A and B are shown apart, each in its own frame.
Chain A
């Protein structure tokens, strides 16, 4: 075994190095979610504001901007996925179970990270087929000219809305542990800042949860945008 001839390779193989990759990619995704939410909430500013925003995204840097963002996000997502699956497998293999298991204080959200993560994965695949690639031909047609109307129509189906609710609930759970985790993994958490970090993490998770869900709920339950 060649001990680290390359210190970066050793880093990517070490437990702490891989955790840092998970934290940095997680941070990038967390920042993306904040931006994505702010943009999406323009749906409540009306058809024109939202469509203008969608148009801006697709023409930014002569249409390159959206692709740069997509490739960057895909890379972060893939790295996050590969390393978390790898770490989780190792963690499961590192010990056998107690006949009587007990948890002292770890919150439930921290125990189900892999499951909340995999739900997010399933959701993201569906979400991209739904609103980005648009496998539904009716939505595909609208997507080109009137994204606002596409969203309103896209959330008419109760099953779709239900799936969004489930996925956002697990995303909220993932973030409530994940955001605080970033600080610890990057070495920024101390005894003094611990409670503030916990607060920020939970507040962020709740804002993301309420913010994203407000859209399908407003449309499906309160008929937002449905009166022509």
Chain B
């Protein structure tokens, strides 16, 4: 099996308050079959053997569904490969002798906890503000009890593919959370079950997004380009529309 020798430039930061720095590591004899996270695992094993602090990073499912593996690889969240998360990235995409820059997702609304680990609970607070429907609890209703037009079901499903990883924010020049917020709002705003709270949801989620200190969208679509779930910026247009309509209705009433 071919092996790679790589130079890593990794962001190290002891805690949220300390200043971070880039440190260099040699990653020798990395199998091309390893995933990117496994490559860091190998480097960390060696650091631990040398009695050094391993590189801290987030991960969980390692199959592209949980959205935890946040890191920016050569300036691009989840790397320049399209439609995948970092855990789905393979080392065969790199060549021998390459230098790889690894940094945390950067946004003031995502403070660094340690090294590559960031605190993305600002996303949770946006969901708490309106990313839900209030429904009667109890046994699940029949699947066909509420008919959903096909086009709406498809659009809602595309939006619902968002895993909340934060790559959109990390790729945005303004650290804007518009793709995330629009996907979460669009998912529910497209469905009959989401109509009752549509306006209050839209206003509350946008208000929370602004309070968390995310930047403003400048329609550059870097978010769409890096999204591992390839969520379309079309949802941002819908959020703008829904927000305008919600404001108009609120003003009139």
A contact set with B: CB distance below 8 Å: 3-4, 7-8, 10-11, 13-20, 87, 90-107, 110-111, 113, 177, 180-181, 183-191
A to B CB contacts below 8 Å, 6 in the list: A7-B250, A15-B176, A15-B217, A16-B243, A90-B216, A106-B220
Smallest CB gap from A100: residue in B: B101
Over the window 201-234 of chain B, the binary record of Cβ atoms lying under 8 Å from chain A Cβ atoms (1 yes, 0 no) is 0010011011001111111111001100000111
With A16-B240, A98-B75, A106-B222 in contact, do A87 and B106 touch (Cβ < 8 Å)?
A: no
Within B227-253, the residues touching A (CB, 8 Å) are 232-234, 236-244, 247, 250-251
Q: Is the CB of A99 within 8 A of B174?
A: no
CB pair B216 A187 closer than 8 Å: no
B92 within 8 A of A: no
Interface size class of B (residues with CB under 8 A): 35 or more
Additional pairs, 4, CB under 8 Å, beyond known A15-B215, A104-B76: A4-B203, A4-B250, A90-B215, A106-B222
Tell me, rounded to whole Å, the shortest Cβ–Cβ distance linking A197 to chain B: 10
Residues 80 to 120 of chain B near chain A (Cβ within 8 Å): 80, 101, 103, 106-109
B171 in the interface (beta carbon within 8 A): yes
- Tell me if A96 and B240 are in contact (CB < 8 A): no
CB-nearest residue of chain A to B22: A99
Whether B11 sits at the interface, judged by CB under 8 Å, is yes
Residue B72 lies at the interface, judged by CB distance under 8 Å to chain A: yes
Is the CB of B175 closer than 8 A to any CB of chain A? Answer: yes
The CA of A17 and the CA of B247, in the complex, are separated in Å by: 9
Across the two chains, which residue of chain B brings its CB closest to A187?
B241
Residue B56, interface by CB 8 Å: no
A104-B251 in contact (CB<8A): no
CA distance A33 to B106 in the complex (A): 39
Q: Find chain B residues with CB under 8 A from A7 CB.
A: 247, 250-251
Contact of A94 among B74, B215, B238 (CB under 8 A): B215
Docked-complex contact A94 and B214, CB < 8 angstroms:
yes
Q: State the total of A-B contacts with C-beta under 8 angstroms.
A: 143
In the complex, the answer to whether A8 meets B251 with C-beta atoms within 8 Å is yes
**CB atoms of A15 and B219 under 8 A apart:** no
Interface SS, B side: mixed
Residues of A within 8 A of B239 (CB): 16, 187
Whether the pair A15, B216 counts as a contact (CB closer than 8 A) is: yes
Within 8 Å by CB of B232, from A180, A188, A191, lies A191
Find out whether the CB atom of A20 lies under 8 angstroms from the CB atom of B240. Answer: yes
A90 proximity list for chain B (CB < 8 A): 174, 215-216
- Please, how many angstroms separate the alpha-carbon atoms of A19 and B146 in the complex? 36
B35 to nearest A CB, angstroms?
21
CB proximity to A under 8 Å, residues B1-17? 9, 11
CA distance A187 to B222 in the complex (A): 18
- B28 close to chain A: CB less than 8 A: no
Task: Name the B residues within 8 Å of A184 (CB-CB).
Answer: 219, 233, 236-237, 240
In the bound assembly, the distance between CA atoms of A190 and B237 in angstroms comes to: 7
Distance (whole angstroms) from the CB of A125 to the closest CB of chain B: 25
- Taken together as a complex, chains A and B put the C-alpha atoms of A11 and B239 apart, in Å, by 14
Say yes or no: is B62 at the interface (Cβ < 8 Å to chain A): no
B59 within 8 A of A: no
Q: Which residue of A lies closest to B238 (CB)?
A: A187
Known contacts A19-B217, A104-B171; is-contact A96 B108 (Cβ 8 Å): yes
Q: A8, A95, A107, A190 — which one has the most chain B CB atoms within 10 A of its CB?
A: A95
Given contacts A7-B251, A105-B225, A184-B236, contact A94 B219 (CB under 8 A): no
- B-side contacts of A189, CB under 8 Å: 233-234, 237
Whether the Cβ atoms of A18 and B216 lie closer than 8 Å is: yes
Question: For residue A188, which residues in chain B have a CB less than 8 angstroms away from its CB?
Answer: 237
0/1 per residue, B33-71, Cβ < 8 Å to A? 000000000000000000000000000000000000000
